Amino acid sequence: MKITLRSLLLHVLLLGAAVTTMAPLLWMVAASLMPTGEASTFPPPFIPRQVTLDQYQELLTRLSLGRYLLNSTVLAIAVTGISLLVNSMAGYGFAKYRFAGRDQIFKLLISAMIIPAQVTMLPLFLMLNRMGLVNTYFGVIVPGLASIFGIFLIRQFALSIPDSLIEAARMDGASDLRIYWSLILPLCRPILLTLAIFTFMGTWNDFLWPLIVLTDDSLWTLPVALANLSGEHVQDTELMMAGSVVTVLPVLILFAALQKYYIGGIMAGSVKE
Amino acid sequence: MSGSRSSAFLIFVGPALTAIGMFLFVPVIAAFLLSFTDFDIYALGDFSVARVVGLGNYGRLLEDPLFWQAVKNTLYFLLVGGPLSIVVSLGMAVLLHSRLVRLKGLFRFVYFAPVVTTLVAVAVVWRFIYHPRFGLLNYLLSLVGLTPIDWLGDPDWAMPALILLAVWKNFGYNMIIFIAGLQNIPQSLYEAASIDGAGPWQRFRTITLPMLAPTTIFITIITMIGYFQLFAEPYVMTQGGPLNRTLSIVLLMYQEGFRWWNMGYSAAVAFVLFVFILLGTLLQTLLRRRALR
């Protein structure tokens, strides 16, 4: 009896926390399905009287949300693809090749993780401005080409691959690049997936850098577009909720599908010492 | 053989090191130099117009009330929001770690969901939740008989409102790290303590908390670094207002650098942020060394 009471209390607490956590997201979805004006009534309605997709239609036709969705998707995929290649090569290199100064370079990289990205943004902007790369996809991608955290994750994983495996492939006459591509990459699949989700979500959700480097609205990503639109449409609650749903839903679905790799990655990143 | 090995090493790490060198190390050094110049909108067209002003920008910072306001606001956000979010994370981790919990995976998913959402989007959502007349939060307050609060319009409530959003958005992340830490505590310790007659609260204080100390310090450092970089919430929800009470260091840097094009001054602001983060991390690393001894 005592145990069931404790268990009951525990679940009431957990359920209360779950409802509190989900409430803002559920209200966002509900309001996005309401006709204009319905969300701005008291008490705030949680269920649309009549479900309508008007807001989504308005976003797509009048506010070119499709364009922003495309920009966000292209950029997130590009950064993920490129950085996965660059980081996995480097991570493998640091794990399995001996080179004078290798460990010092790696230590330097690890200590550089403390540099806040904001510090680099002013000169980076000036650099890109000179090169005519402000207001281009490339300008957005540049800071994400390689990531120290990504290199670190891959290196830790690659360290656990037995040297004998690599030696055996070498005996069979495989070249260094061949070994990397056909042996190491498949073995690293779980950590690559983890890194892919981190990078995709990080790029998708990123705000400050795209805000700085994209002034032309045809190149805006979803967060930049949403921040700008929400300034102009302060009163259009339902419309803005629909915009938020479109921005948030893709990453939520991705997370739901690949939860295991995402959470595993956080745990791997937290035990670095 | 070893010669070809080292050239292979260069092929593998070369692209990453080049990218990190060009887009991280060079800009950091450039930002440092930039902070000693009066680089402004005229210099944007012709770099040679910028003059070296020595420590001028840093001197101006010390006399700029807006800068002190931004530091104060950021520290408020950090020193109230940080501990609050860590306590919530720890509490939820302990609850969720219990063997009695059913549907663990579902609860974990729900608590973690805000972490992966786009900050700008949820800031837009929360701006409406904080609406003084139609917002969800004031409705809930009215149910328990409290008077409505103008969350984002009242200078005293705007920062607490941003903190509440940040805790909601972030607690799931640290919760996961705490759960990983809890899983590493040997069950036998708890059993031994139970035999000695220790109650749940005593077990938490004498076993859980000390065993989690390394995890807690790690979490404190990453939380501090993240909270120092407050930007999107005030940018979307308050534009730094009311009365500059939510102006953060990064928002000030953004406004000075990319709205008014005072890039030399803005670089000085960015470096102050860097120094703050560095000092905070050093302090906590020292504390940990002492705790380990």
In a domain, B5, yes or no: no
Average pLDDT over residues B240-252: 96
CA distance B181 to chain A (A): 9
Nearest to residue A120, comparing CAs of B111, B22, B172, B239?
B22
In a domain, B24, yes or no: no
Q: What is the pLDDT of residue A270?
A: 67
In a domain, B44, yes or no: no
Q: What is the pLDDT of residue B275?
A: 96
Distance CA B86, CA B84 (A): 5
Is the Cβ–Cβ distance between A205 and A214 less than 8 Å? no
Tell me the pLDDT tens digit for each residue of B155-205: 999 999 999 999 999 999 999 999 999 999 999 999 899 898 888 889 999
Is the Cβ–Cβ distance between A209 and A121 less than 8 Å? yes
Distance CA A80, CA A198 (A): 9
Q: Can you give the CATH number for the domain in which B85 is found? A: 1.10.3720.10
Find the domain containing B128 and state its range.
60-292
- What are the tokens at B29? 């050094």
> A22 vs B110: CB contact, 8 Å cut-off?
yes
In a domain, B74, yes or no: yes
pLDDT exceeds cutoff 80 at B280 = yes
User: Cβ-count burial of A5 within 10 angstroms (0-12 exposed, 13-18 middle, 19+ buried)?
Assistant: exposed
Distance CA A52, CA B166 (A): 31
Tally of CA atoms within 13 A in the half-sphere of A235 that contains its CB: 2
Is the Cβ–Cβ distance between B15 and A89 less than 8 Å? yes
In a domain, B154, yes or no: yes
Is the Cβ–Cβ distance between A148 and A113 less than 8 Å? yes
CA angle A102, A105, A108 (to 5 degrees): 150
Q: Is any Cβ of chain B less than 8 angstroms from the Cβ of A210?
A: no
CATH fit for domain A27-270, picks 3.40.190.10, 3.40.50.300, 1.10.3720.10, 3.40.630.30? 1.10.3720.10
In a domain, B281, yes or no: yes
- In the numeric block, the tokens 């990289």 are attached to A109
In a domain, B121, yes or no: yes
Domain range summary for chain A, segments of one domain joined by +: 27-270
What residues have CB less than 8 Å from A240, skipping those under 6 apart? A226, A229, A230, A233, B124, B128
Q: What is the pLDDT of residue B93?
A: 96
What residues have CB less than 8 Å from A229, skipping those under 6 apart? A63, A240, A243
Q: Which residues of A touch B133 (CB under 8 A)?
A: 40, 42
Maximum average pLDDT range among B38-47, B97-106, B255-264: B255-264
CA distance B55 to chain A (A): 18
Average pLDDT over residues B55-78: 97
**What is the pTM for the complete model shown?**
0.94
Q: Which residues of B touch A2 (CB under 8 A)?
A: none
Q: What is the pLDDT along chain A (273 residues), one digit of tens a residue?
A: 456 888 999 999 999 999 999 999 999 999 999 999 999 888 888 899 989 999 999 999 989 999 999 999 999 999 999 999 999 999 999 999 988 889 999 999 999 999 999 999 999 999 999 999 999 999 999 999 999 999 999 999 999 999 999 999 999 999 999 999 999 999 999 999 999 999 999 999 999 999 999 988 999 999 999 999 988 888 899 999 999 999 999 999 999 999 988 888 887 766 543
Q: With a CB-CB cutoff of 8 Å, which residues 229-258 of chain A face chain B? A: 230, 237, 240-241, 243-244, 247-248, 251-252, 254-256
Q: What is the helix (H) or strand (E) element at residue A13, kind and residue range?
A: helix A2-32
Is the Cβ–Cβ distance between A255 and B168 less than 8 Å? no
Q: Shortest CB distance from A24 goes to which of B95, B116, B125?
A: B125
In a domain, B247, yes or no: yes
Q: What is the pLDDT of residue A234?
A: 81
Q: What is the pLDDT of residue B3?
A: 45
Chain A residue closest in CA terms to B250: A118
Interface test with B, best of A12, A21, A83, A259 (most B CBs within 10 A): A21
CA distance A140 to chain B (A): 12
Average pLDDT over residues B196-224: 91
Q: What is the pLDDT of residue A233?
A: 85
Q: Chain-centre distance of CA B195, in angstroms?
A: 42
Q: With a CB-CB cutoff of 8 Å, which residues 143-172 of chain B face chain A? A: 168, 172
- What are the tokens at B76? 């408020």
Q: With a CB-CB cutoff of 8 Å, which residues 18-57 of chain A face chain B? A: 18, 21-25, 27-28, 31, 39-44
Distance CA A203, CA A75 (A): 7
Q: What is the pLDDT of residue A2?
A: 59
